[in-house]
Amino acid sequence: MTPLLTAVAAALGIIGLLGVAYAVFTSARVTKTLELYKAENEAQGKRIASLEAEDARKTERLAAVERENVVLRDLATGRSVMEALANDIRAAETLRRTEHESMMSVLSDMKDMINEMWQGMVRFFGGERRQGDR
């Protein structure tokens, strides 16, 4: 072979080797990048699972707090309802006592009137009262 042909062949061989080395290097870099992406994907998947579990715990805690809030609101509302009922009962009892006192006064007045009428009838007819009469 001629030296020129040998030099061209050697240059082509070196270029070919460089191409193969570049392809291997690029392939290794792509493989390494894919491995990094896979590892990152797995880490992100674990983190998402952890965040979802934490979200579920917080959601359950929030629901528990909301249930407690409803119970406390019902207790407060029930207390105010009971206080209103107690006030109504007090007002009704005051009214009942006033009516009772009025009725007792009317009955006492009626008793006095009946006694006066009875005594007037006894005087009018001239009779004497028996021991059981009023």
Token couple for 46: 């674990």
What pLDDT digit, counting tens, does each position of 1-59 carry? 577 778 777 787 777 777 777 777 777 777 888 888 898 989 999 999 999 999 999 99
* Cα→Cα distances 17→9, 21, 31, Å: 12, 6, 21
For the chain, what is the total number of helices (H) and then of strands (E)? 1, 0
Position 111 scores a pLDDT of: 94
| 44-49 contact pairs (CB < 8 A, 24+) | none
CA dihedral (43, 46, 47, 52) in degrees, to 10, reads 160
HSE-CB for 111 with a 13 A CA cutoff: 7
Return d(Cα 31, Cα 17) in angstroms, integer. Answer: 21
- 21-31: burial string, b at 16+ Cβ within 10 Å, e else: eeeeeeeeeee
What pLDDT digit, counting tens, does each position of 51-103 carry? 999 999 999 999 999 999 988 888 777 778 888 889 999 999 999 999 999 99
Residue 115 zone, left/alpha/beta (φ > 0; ψ -120 to 50; rest): alpha
